[in-house]
Amino acid sequence: MLGLVPSSYLFYRRLAAARTLSAATPLSVKMARSALDEVTDSGAFDRSPSTFRSFVSRDSSAPFPAVAGRYHLYVSYACPWASRCLAYLKLKGLDSAIGFTSVKPIFGRTKESDDHLGWVFPAARDEEPGAEPDPFNGAKTVRELYEIASTKYTGKPTVPLLWDKQLKTVVNNESSEIIRMLNNEFNEIAENPGLDLNPAHLQASIDEINDLVYDAINNGVYKCGFAKKQSPYDEAVTNLYNALDKCEEILSKQRFMCGNQLTEADVRLFVTLIRFDEVYAVHFKCNKKLIREYPNLFNYTKDIYQIPGMSSTVNMEHIRKHYYGSHPSINPYGIIPAGPSIDYNAPHDREKLFL
Ligand SMILES: N[C@@H](CCC(=O)N[C@@H](CS)C(=O)NCC(=O)O)C(=O)O
């Protein structure tokens, strides 16, 4: 460890700077400790904002410079927000410069002194395929990582989190920002630096699709699933299916959401589509229509799944175990439904349609 410290003075100055940057947000404000608590009096799900919002930069003098081996991504294979970061690690060829560790899929007790349920690491590598013990801090829970980064943290201990091994702190826990950093700032150490998922000429269109997809689809399925009253559910499910119909129509004319090249908008939509028929349809009551009943959306999901590297970011076992097993107020007995076991490696027509 000491080998990483440039000089004790510099180290503590950087640590203080990083902590100020990382903690420049309302850490002392009382926040929900679980997504299931983020429901307003009207019964609607209302997601809290992420807390750690510092940026890694290609500028070598920045507090968090983009260097190989310094950062680690803590994820859950179950989580769509974490999976989009994982997808970027694979697509950009950054997985040897930035390691990652997945937690166990089912929430567990994070402290003996309270009843919080959250992400936990396995005690050994062979405990749960895909999940690994924390390699750097020996943390038993993601909550512990947040507590190492800030003693004042009272918010939700969420994944993904981009961890700085040198300063032992969370750089950023907002996936929409982490993916932009992975796209833009690490090109000098990426194996695929030429892949730009946010090209300037498509930025306006990417932002427009992201606005539609985030609110109505990515977060929309959670609004359906976590609603505690009928009317917020009705509103969320209507918005969800209006947005899916719109995507289906866009994809009838072009291979990807912003044209005929893969962009950030596709990675962001994919992580919800791949979980939809297996989990959201049943667990979150999104059963008006399945993705496999939309010809374009279904083939588009297969198309993206078959991009080299992408299938390794999809662990359906973790996805199914997590949702059905971690929300006792929705599924009290934790029973995992049998189907549908879709083959996303099956042929699709997208390449032929849009040559
Ligand atoms: N805005 C965050 C959201 C992350 C998030 O909500 N992650 C969920 C898993 S899918 C989580 O860790 N939840 C912990 C909990 O509910 O206790 C991001 O996009 O990075």
Q: ipTM value of the model?
A: 0.99
Cα 291 from Cα 294, distance rounded (Å): 5
Q: Is the pLDDT of residue 10 over 80?
A: no
C-alpha radius of gyration, the chain, whole number: 20
Ligand 1: lining residues by beta carbon, under 6 Å? 34-35, 50, 79, 81, 118, 156, 158-160, 173-176
Q: Catalytic one among 79, 85, 247, 286?
A: 79
How far out from the chain centre does Cα 147 lie?
21
Could you identify the atom of ligand 1 that is nearest to the CA of residue 159?
12
How do strand 99-102 and strand 108-109 relate by DSSP bridges? Answer: unpaired
Quote the ligand 1 centre to 316 CA distance (angstroms): 18
- pLDDT of 179 reads 98
Q: Tell me the percentage of the chain whose pLDDT exceeds 90.
A: 82
Query: How many Å apart are CA 304 and CA 285, to the nearest integer?
Result: 25
Least confident of 6-10, 95-99, 199-203: 6-10
E strand or H helix that includes residue 169: strand 169-172
Per-residue confidence band for 309, with pLDDT thresholds at 50, 70 and 90: very high
Angle at 76 between CA 73 and CA 79, to 5 degrees: 115
Q: What does 312-348 look like in DSSP terms, one character per residue?
A: GG--HHHHHHHHHHH-TTTSTT-PPP------TTS--
Query: How far, in Å, is the centroid of ligand 1 from the Cα of 53?
Result: 14
pLDDT band at 2 (very low <50, low <70, confident <90, very high): very low
Residue nearest to atom 17 of ligand 1 (CA): 34
d(CA 196, CA 176) in angstroms, rounded, equals 15
pLDDT of 254 above 70: yes
The answer on whether 170 is annotated among ligand-binding residues is no
Contact 55, 181 (CB under 8 A): yes
Q: 10 Å Cβ neighbour count for 244?
A: 24
**311, 274 Cβ separation under 8 angstroms:** no
Average pLDDT over residues 128-141: 97
At 151 the pLDDT is: 87
**Per-residue model confidence as pLDDT tens digits over 135-151:** 999 999 999 999 999 98
Higher pLDDT, 36 or 352: 352
- pLDDT band with cut points at 50, 70 and 90 for residue 22: very low
Instruction: State the pLDDT at residue 166.
Output: 96
Antiparallel, parallel or unpaired: β 117-118 and 108-109: antiparallel
> What distance in Å separates the CA atoms of residue 76 and residue 114, rounded to the nearest whole number?
23
Q: Whose CA is nearest to atom 5 of ligand 1?
A: 158
Q: Is 326 annotated as a binding residue?
A: no
The pLDDT of residue 175 is above 70: yes
In residues, how long is the chain?
Answer: 355
Phi, psi values for residue 99, rounded to 5°: -80, 170
Counting from 1 in the atom list of ligand 1, the atom nearest the Cα of 158 is: 12
Residue with CA closest to ligand 1 atom 12: 158
Whether the pLDDT of residue 1 is over 50: the answer is no
pLDDT at 32: 58
- What's the pTM value of the predicted model, to 2 decimals? 0.91
Question: Mean pLDDT of all residues in the chain?
Answer: 90
Sign of CA dihedral 336, 235, 159, 277: positive
Write down the pLDDT at residue 51. Answer: 85
Over residues 145-169, mean pLDDT:
94
pLDDT in tens, 24-75: 333 433 445 677 777 888 888 887 777 899 999 999 999 999 999 999 999 9
Per-residue pLDDT reduced to its tens digit, 61-114: 999 999 999 999 999 999 999 999 999 999 999 999 999 999 999 999 999 999
**Cα–ligand 1 centroid distance for 231 (angstroms):** 24
Q: Do 119 and 76 contact (CB within 8 A), yes or no?
A: yes
Residue by residue, DSSP assigns 226-243 as: H--SHHHHHHHHHHHHHH
**Which residue(s) pair with 172 in the sheet?**
53, 162
